[in-house]
Amino acid sequence: MGLLVVLGEAARVDGFALGGATVIAAESPDAVRRAWTSLPDDLAVVMLTHQAAVALGDEVARRDGVLNVVMPP
């Protein structure tokens, strides 16, 4: 079974830890990009806040085998 990661602003992602997700709080676009490059290999699903998805741009589509979900703004 793969890992679920939730990435974005702390205020939007912290609650997902209660459900067992790996939460990575990243407040700035640079922090989001750094976190994205360090995600583990066993990643199955990544849920991004809208701002995190904007910071990553097309990079999100380049990760094969990972389901990407973007939260509404």
User: What is the DSSP-derived secondary structure letter of residue 43?
Assistant: E
| Residue 9 · residue 53 · CB < 8 Å | no
> Taking the C-alpha atoms of 63, 47, 14 and 2 in order, what is their torsion angle to the nearest 10 degrees?
-70
Q: In the chain, what are the domains?
A: 3-70 (3.40.50.10580)
pTM across the whole model:
0.93
- pLDDT tens-place values along the chain, 73 residues long: 689 999 999 999 999 999 999 999 999 999 999 999 999 888 999 999 999 999 999 988 888 889 999 999 9
Count CB-CB contacts under 10 A for residue 21.
18
